[in-house]
Every structure is written in structure tokens, then in C-alpha cells.
Amino acid sequence: MSGAFFELSGETGRLRLLLADTWKSRSLLWMLARKDFFVRYRRASLGVFWAAGLPLLQLIVLAVVFSRVVRIHSQVNYVTLVFAGLVPWTFFSTALASASTAIVDGADLSTKVYFPRAVLPLVSVGSAAYGLGINVVLLVAVAAFEGVPIRASFLLLVPAAALVGLLTAAFALVLSALHVYFRDVRYVVQAAMAVWFYATPVFYPFRLAQSHGLAGLLSVNPMAGVVQVFRAAVTGTDGALGLPLWWTGGWIAALFLAAALLYRRYDRVFVDLL
Amino acid sequence: MRLVGVGKRYVKYEDAPMLVTRLAGLRTRTRRSSLWAIRNVDFELQRGDVLGVIGRNGSGKSTLLRMLAGVTAPTEGTVMVRGRVAPLISVGVGFHPELTGRENVYVNGTILGLSRQEVDRRFDEVVDFAEIPAFIDTPVKFYSSGMFVRLGFAVAVLAEPDVLLVDEVLAVGDIAFQLKCYDRMQQIRDRGTTIVVVSHNLNAVRLLCPRVMVVHDGAVRFDGAAEEALALYHDLLGPQPDEAATIDEERAAEVEEFLLLGADGSDSSTFSSGEEVRIRLSVRFLEPVNGVVFGISLVSEEGVPVYSDSTNWEGTGTFSTGQRAVFEAGFRLSVPTGSYTVGVGLRRADRPVSLARTPRPRMIYVAGRHTVNGAADLGARFRVADHAGPDEAV
């Protein structure tokens, strides 16, 4: 939002003002996020069912391929295990696909009126959060359908969703800022996602990596910690939670710091390159 | 609103910055050049002030407006704005194409810092003003450009902003809506809103803005009374790109003066529609010439020839070396409001050769009646005939 007063001298802004402005823009953020989510499905006859339908389809494919064809063995219900990984992954990858280009795509609005540019990538994340909400509910339904006992640990899904939201927001802020200067970022993200999917314990249990001595390496991936919290809520963690979670926290802190520096310097000049 | 020594520099990369080379830490020298879009701007506006900004494309006026909107920060100097700034209204208003008109009103209201209830309260007024009740629930990507601008303008004034920035919006939309916008802008100005209008539409600027700033080549050339600003602007507009010289030139004569005299007999760049003007060309002959054709032309801003004429093709007069002569052409400027160029030419009667170096055409501004559209003002007189009684002039 445009504050009641502003004074600009030099291109670098003041971080405290920027944070205050961003905080004040939260109602704008949610309004845009809600619109963005519903507009996406507006012209489809099945509407928001697509938000739930696509991950379900992917779940069926993964479940069939990896339990029947590749035969990954799991002590817990495999379908639930895969879906617990797929829900945060789908959110992470769809949100970043649109968030990384958000500042460039938002040129229509942002060249006309000032609001903190960080709002734009956060809107993409917020919009994807609606899908995440639907899928978390779906996850509980799938678990119940598969006969997994619904325990108190399911409440962990709430902080788990918050964690993946935070991680995604951190990546979104940094990538969207970089994308203004380096238009390759969009393709780098696309390419990275294809690889990243396999480096994340989505369709295999964390234990599989442990048994190959790759647990340390896998933990560096911030999404591993996220998936493990989802698993902790639904099917159990194979005992690996602390180390990957530390890494996830470290990534979030580092990315937010980078974002703060980037937006402090470039918030008011992104427009020059749009 | 105060600007002190404001300047904005853009850096133009000759090569696209390469992510890969940056990541690899390679010190590749990216060739880049920088350009000051605008520099050394100082001015101050109080509540209720209206400032017009005119200048050619690329003169830096849009950059200036963007800085006033807070959308981009100045490279040097300080921009201080107190109060709520409305979005820059222009032809591509800050609308989300997929959202409906209604949703865009709410989004823009929120950006302006209004609460949902405040937007609710003013919603009907906005729709009413924009004259689009039937389309308010249609995604704006299906809007015509006129509807787009109408809604944009309506939304911008919705929040009763302290600062309203208008960019070229008045060029679009029909006359009736333009007049409605003028009225509205005058209303909100009277309530204390500071307005900055950037436009090529000199008529709009003249109507709205007592104070006009001329921006040229990234610098403020003039800041003051509208009439003076418009005259200076016309001088800056030349030299016009030569309209492909079609005939050869020789130096048999020299144009000493090219004047445009208005009804009061003095040289001017602004006239009113229907005014009797005289083109006066003072010439000194450098060699004997037998028979001269004197031609004039009037071309509209869009490059449409409105009128051209000349003395008869046999030519007039015989002139000896060193002789001075004054060629005059008087005519009535029966054209609607707008900018025009007046061109003159001297030709030998016996062959198609220009006698002298053709002086560059002069830009003029004609102020006329709002109701007139088209290439010429033929001065219609309207009347309504009442069948029951005698004719009555309206």
C-alpha cells in the first residue's frame, strides 16, 4: 500500500520501513491470493476440483508404479506414505513455478502503483496455500481410506503445513527477485524441480537413503525435513527427523536474510527492468 | 510534495546479464552504458495545486511520474510526498485482466489502503461514474479501451487521494467522458487534492493546468504559466523530420523571416479556432528571378494534410538581385482544437526547383470548441424546429 507519507532519496531503501510496509500490505496479499486461486479454476467446468484431482492422479500413478512395478518395500501403508510426501511437494513446486516469475508477471500492477514488491511472490505462495489446505484434508481422508489409524499426531499436519509455507515463501522471495535480473531463473527452476523431486523422499521412505548411507546428503535438501514432518504426522518418520529439520531451518533463515538484503536494495527499482 | 535535485539514471546492459557467469564468479565485464532519464528536478506542490507536464516521447516525463508515484526511486536527490497517492491512471491501468471489474475495484481499493467497508460504501458511485453497470462482473480483459480508462479513472478518484497522477488518460474516451473527468478533477482539486497531469493532449493540459512544466531531453526547461509553456514546447518540437525533400533546392533567395500573425497583428504560436491569421515570409533575392510560386500548407498533429494552397502556377513578380520582398497569405483557421504545423515554400515558376532553403515548418496550437471533431470546423449553426410554432434558434 502507499503509505500516508514517503520520502525517497537514493535507490536503497530502509529495511525497517520496508518490513513495516510489507506487514501493512497483508490484507492486500490475502485478497490477491484468494483471487489468484479462484481465477485459475474459474473457467474450468470442474473448478477447484482440479486442485485436488491432479495430486490424486499423480498419487495413483506413483503408488502403482512404485509398489507394483519397482516394488519399494515399506513397513507402513505405502499409499499414505507417498501422499504425505506428495502433498508438500506439489505445493512447493507449483507455488515456486508461479512465484519465481511473479514480480515480472505483476508488471501491470506494479508499474502503476507502489506496494512492497515482496507481496507479489507471496501472493503466488498464498494462492497455492489454498490447494495445500485442500490436499491436507485429502491426505487425512486417504489415510482413513487406507486404514491408517487416525491419531493425535495428525495434529502435526498444521505446523508441517506452516513449515512448508515458510520454506516456499523464502525461496519464492529470493527467486522472484533474481528473476527480474536473470530471466533464466524460470528455466533453472523448471530444471531443478525435475531433479529435486527425486532428491526428495516423496515416493520412497527416508530409511531407503539411510540404508544406502546417503542420509546425511539427503538431509541437506530442505524439502526432506518438510516431508519428514508430514510423515511424522501420518505414518511415522523412520527415526530421521532432527538432522533434516535443522537443515530446513537453516535454509529458511539464510533465504530470508538474502531476501531482506535483496529487497532492501532493489524494492524500488525492480520496475526499471520490467 | 517536494522534489529536490531529483535525477534518475537507467543502466542499459549491452549484454544480458548472465546468471551462469555470475554464479561461476567469472569477472566478465558486462558492457553497460547509463543514461540519465531526467536530472535536476526541483519543484514543490501544495494541496490543491494542478501541474501539467508536457514533453516529447522519451523526454523523461514518464520517469518523473513514476517517481512521484513512488514506483521507482530516484538515483539522486529526494522525492517527498505527503498523503495517499492514487495509482497512475493511464491507458493500461493497474488492473488484473482475468478479474472482473468489480474485483478490480476492490483490489485497487485495497492497494490504496481502503478497507472493504469503505470500498462497499463507494462502489455504486464508481460504477455509476464509469458508466459500465452491465459489465461490472465481466473480466476486464474483455473491456474496450474506453471502458478500461473509465473504470480506471473512477477507481483512482474513488479513494479521494491526496495526490492524483494522470498519464495520458484523457486522450482516450469520448468527449462527453473527458468533460466529466475534467469536472471531477476540478471537484477533487477543490477538496485539496494535488493533481499532476502528463499529456500530449495540449488542450487538456491548457484547460486543467494553470501551471505547466516543459520537460525536454531529461531536463526541466520551463515551469510556469501555461501559455508560455505551450509556446516554448512548440519551439522545442522542431526541427521536424524533413518531409522527404521532393524538389531540388537552390540558393536564388534567402528567407529572412517566417511569421505567423494573429488577429492582433503580432507573431504567435497559439491561435483560436476561426481566427484570421496571416503567414508572412520576408525574402531577399540573391539573383534575378522571374516568376515565383508561393505555397503554404497546414498539417495536423497526426500528419494529415488539412489544407494546402499556392499562388497561381505562372508565378508572381520579377525580382532583381538584392531585392527584398514580403509574401503574405491570409486565411481563416477553421480547424478544431489541436496542434498543427504550418509549412511554406517558394518555387520557381519555370521549373520545379525551390528558390531558397525552405524554413522549417512552425508548430501552432489552435484552441477551439469542445464539440467539434474532424479535420475542419465548418461552423455549423444548430437549430431545433418546432412543428407547432415558429423556428427557434438554440
**For B292-329, what is each residue's pLDDT tens digit?**
888 898 988 767 788 988 887 677 788 888 899 999 99
Min Cα distance A252 → chain B (Å) is 21
For a pLDDT cut of 90, what percent of chain A falls above it?
A: 38
- How far is residue A124's CA from residue A97's CA, in Å, rounded to a whole number? 9
List b or e across B236-259, with b for residues whose CB sees 16 or more CB atoms inside 10 angstroms: bbeeeeeeeeeeeeeebbebeebe
Closest-CA distance of chain B to residue A153, Å:
39
Confidence band of A253 (pLDDT split at 50, 70, 90): very high
**φ, ψ (nearest 5 deg) of residue B356:** -140, 170
Quick check: is B12 in a domain?
no
pLDDT at B244: 42
Domain boundary residue among B180, B211, B237? Answer: B237
pLDDT interval class at A260 (50, 70, 90): very high
| Residue B62 confidence (pLDDT) | 79
Cα–Cα distance, A122 to A26 (Å, whole number): 10
Within an 8 Å CB–CB cutoff, is residue B82 touching chain A?
yes
Q: Tell me the H-state helices in chain B.
A: 19-23, 61-69, 101-111, 116-130, 145-158, 175-190, 202-208, 226-237
Residue in A2, A8, A111 nearest the CB of B73: A8
User: Which residues, other chains included, contact B368 with Cβ-Cβ below 8 Å and sequence gap of 6+?
Assistant: B272, B273, B274, B335, B336, B337, B377
Reference B59, options B198, B235, B195; nearest CA is B198
- Residue-range definition of the domain harbouring residue B341: 248-367
Q: Are residues B186 and B304 in the same domain?
A: no
**B113 shares its domain with B75:** yes
Name the minimum distance, in Å, from the CA of A30 to any CA of chain B: 10
Indicate whether B16 belongs to any domain. Answer: no
B217 lies in some domain: yes
Structural domain contains residue B152: yes
Q: Which residues pair with B316 in a beta bridge?
A: B292
Q: Are residues B344 and B268 in the same domain?
A: yes
Indicate the number of domains in chain B. Answer: 2
Cα B170 to Cα B201: distance, rounded to the nearest angstrom? 8
Is residue A2 assigned to a domain? Answer: no
Contact A272 B10 (CB under 8 A): yes
| A253 in B contact zone (CB under 8 Å) | no
- Residue A91 to residue A128: CA distance in whole angstroms: 6
Q: How many Cβ atoms are within 10 Å of A56's Cβ, its own excluded?
A: 15
Q: Which of B264, B259, B271 is nearest to B329 (CA)?
A: B259
Q: Based on the domain organization, do B331 and B204 belong to the same domain?
A: no
Same-domain status, B281 and B232: no
Evaluate whether residue B70 is within a structural domain: yes
Q: Establish whether this prediction's ipTM goes over 0.85.
A: no
Do B321 and B263 reside in the same domain of the chain? yes
Q: Are A115 and A1 in contact (CB under 8 A)?
A: yes
User: B360: burial class by Cβ within 10 Å (0-12, 13-18, 19+)?
Assistant: middle
Structure confidence by residue, pLDDT tens digits, A186-223:
999 999 999 999 999 888 888 888 788 788 888 899 99
User: Hey, what's the cell of A3?
Assistant: 503509505
**Spatial separation of the C-alpha atoms in residues B220 and B214, rounded to whole Å:** 6
**pTM (whole model) above 0.80:** no
Least confident span in A136-145, A175-184, B112-121, B256-265: B112-121
Half-sphere exposure of residue A250: CA atoms within 13 angstroms, side-chain side:
12
* Stretch among A90-99, A118-127, A234-243 having the lowest mean pLDDT: A234-243
Q: What are phi and psi of B82, to 5 degrees?
A: -105, 125
For A106, name the nearest residue in chain B, comparing CA atoms only.
B96
Q: Is B97 on the interface with A (CB under 8 A)?
A: yes
Q: Specify if B126 maps to a domain.
A: yes
Q: Quote the domain boundaries for residue A41.
A: 15-269
**Residues of chain B contacting A188 with CB distance shorter than 8 Å:** 19
Please report, for the domain that includes residue B299, its CATH number: 2.70.50.60
Residue A96 has a pLDDT of: 94
The whole-angstrom separation of Cα B156 and Cα B126 is 10
Q: How much is the pLDDT for B243?
A: 43
Shared domain check, B253 and B215? no
Question: Can you name the residues that pair with B35 across neighbouring β-strands?
Answer: B10
Task: Give chain A's domain count.
Answer: 1
Q: Is the confidence at residue A12, as pLDDT, over 70? A: yes
Does B192 lie in the same domain as B67? yes
Residues B162 and B263 reside in one and the same domain: no
Q: Which residue of chain A comes nearest to B22, CA vs CA?
A: A182
Specify whether B275 is located in the same domain as B193.
Answer: no
Residue among B63, B66, B60 nearest B85 (CA) = B66
In the predicted model, is pLDDT for residue A91 greater than 90?
Answer: yes
* Pick from A175, A173, A205, A216: nearest CA to A193: A175
**Which grid coordinates are listed for A175?**
527467486
Q: Does B208 share its domain with B65?
A: yes
Question: In percent, how much of chain A has pLDDT > 70?
Answer: 95
Has residue A182 been placed in a domain? yes
394 residues of chain B, pLDDT tens digit each: 776 666 666 655 544 555 555 555 544 455 556 778 888 888 888 888 888 888 877 778 878 888 888 888 888 888 888 877 776 665 555 677 778 888 888 888 887 777 888 888 888 888 888 888 888 888 888 888 778 878 888 887 777 788 888 876 665 556 677 777 778 888 888 888 888 888 776 767 777 788 898 888 888 888 888 878 877 887 776 544 444 445 567 788 888 889 999 988 888 888 888 899 999 999 999 888 888 888 898 988 767 788 988 887 677 788 888 899 999 999 999 998 888 888 898 888 877 778 887 787 788 888 888 788 888 889 888 888 876 655 555 4
Clarify whether residues B194 and B232 are in a common domain: yes
**Chain centroid, CA B178 distance in Å:** 15
pLDDT at position B241 is 45
Asked if residue B207 is part of any domain, the answer here is yes
The pLDDT of residue A161 is above 90: yes
Are the CB atoms for B369 and B273 separated by under 8 Å? yes
Q: Is A35–B103 a contact, with Cβ atoms under 8 angstroms apart?
A: yes
| Facing A115 at nearest CB: one of B67, B80, B111 | B111
Does A235 map to a domain?
yes
Q: Which three cell numbers, joined as nine digits, stand for B48?
A: 490543491
Within 128-187 of A, beta carbons closer than 8 Å to B belong to 178, 181-185
Per-residue pLDDT, B174:
66
Per the domain annotation, does B381 fall within a domain?
no
Q: Which residue has the higher pLDDT, A1 or B30?
A: B30
Does the distance separating the beta carbons of A10 and B107 come in below 8 Å? Answer: no
| Higher-confidence position of A168 and B194 | A168
For strands B362-367 and B270-272, give the pairing.
Answer: parallel
Domain assignment present for residue A57? The answer is yes
In angstroms, the CA B105 to CA B177 distance is 19
pLDDT at B242: 44
> Do you find a cis peptide bond into B239, omega within 30 degrees of 0?
yes
Give the Cα separation of A118 and A109 in Å (integer).
13
Evaluate whether residue A4 is within a structural domain: no
Which of helix, strand or coil describes residue B122? helix
